[in-house]
């Protein structure tokens, strides 16, 4: 049995292990340039991938320049793009729902941590029908990811923070969340959706998997 299933509390980095923000951004990148500038979506989405090391604003600039459009309205274009993203249905990573449900079926109390506002994240959870699986979700209103969120989670189950931490696992998908888990001594499971497995290992993740669905293969 995977070590997480013997622990009563689970914390999930919602931004990188449950919701696939990259697919959502790429899809709307293509839609935006097709609707606004008539650029075929496959063209702009190809650049989205090949220039993935650049900030989003610079990828916008590249598409406009390559197709001889002015960049004078770049800030307005970005604002309209983010409106498209906000209106689109969130994308859940393959098998993430099943992992969460399995945890709940085994009696694990689940918590979610996000860099977004709690209102925005709650809407994403409701839209994807994942809201009922989490006992508490903390976001910007509670403070930055880390101790402020962990303190609320411990209070939710009426435990001292140290006791909660000793019994919890933290499923992380980026180095910031991994650093939080390491600093607080929480058992960490690194999911390499947005960062390489080697980076997760080198930064001290207790377990590393290429995608979240692998947790379903180790549940006996």
What number of residues does the chain have? 220
Q: In what order do the strands lie in the sheet with 109-113?
A: 136-138, 109-113, 9-13, 168-172, 187-191, 207-209
pLDDT in tens, 137-161: 999 999 999 999 999 999 999 999 9
pTM recorded for the entire structure: 0.86
Domain boundaries 3-19+91-217, corresponding CATH code: 3.40.50.1000
pLDDT in tens, 10-57: 999 999 999 998 899 999 999 999 999 999 999 999 999 999 889 899
Q: What is the pLDDT of residue 1?
A: 67
Q: Is 4 helix (H, G, I), strand (E, B) or coil?
A: helix
User: Predicted confidence band at 209 (pLDDT cuts at 50, 70, 90)?
Assistant: very high
pLDDT in tens, 45-97: 999 999 988 989 999 999 999 999 999 999 999 999 988 988 889 999 999 99
> Are the beta carbons of 214 and 192 closer than 8 angstroms?
no
Domain ranges of the chain: 3-19+91-217, 22-87
> Are the beta carbons of 14 and 131 closer than 8 angstroms?
no
Alpha helix locations (H) across the chain?
A: 21-37, 41-50, 56-66, 74-87, 96-105, 118-127, 147-156, 161-167, 175-184, 197-202
> Are the beta carbons of 156 and 175 closer than 8 angstroms?
no
| pLDDT for residue 5 is more than 70 | yes
């Amino acid at each position: 049995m995977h070590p997480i299933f013997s622990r009563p509390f689970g914390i999930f980095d919602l931004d990188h292990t449950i919701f696939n923000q990259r697919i959502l951004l790429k899809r709307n990148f293509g839609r935006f340039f097709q609707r606004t500038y008539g650029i075929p979506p496959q063209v702009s989405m190809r650049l989205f991938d090949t220039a993935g090391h650049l900030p989003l604003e610079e990828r916008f600039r590249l598409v406009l320049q390559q197709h001889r459009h002015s960049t004078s309205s770049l800030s307005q274009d970005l604002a309209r793009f983010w409106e498209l993203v906000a209106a689109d249905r969130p994308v859940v990573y393959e098998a993430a729902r099943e992992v969460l449900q399995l945890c709940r079926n085994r009696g694990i109390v689940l918590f979610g941590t996000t860099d977004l506002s709690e209102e925005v994240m709650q809407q994403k959870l409701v839209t994807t029908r994942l809201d009922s699986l989490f006992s508490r979700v903390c976001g910007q209103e509670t403070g930055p990811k880390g101790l402020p969120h962990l303190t609320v989670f411990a209070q939710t189950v009426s435990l001292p923070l140290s006791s909660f931490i000793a019994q919890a696992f933290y499923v992380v998908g980026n180095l910031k969340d991994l650093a939080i888990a390491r600093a607080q001594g929480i058992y960490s499971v690194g999911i390499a959706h947005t960062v390489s497995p080697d980076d997760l290992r080198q930064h001290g993740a207790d377990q590393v998997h290429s995608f979240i669905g692998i947790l379903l293969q180790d549940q006996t």
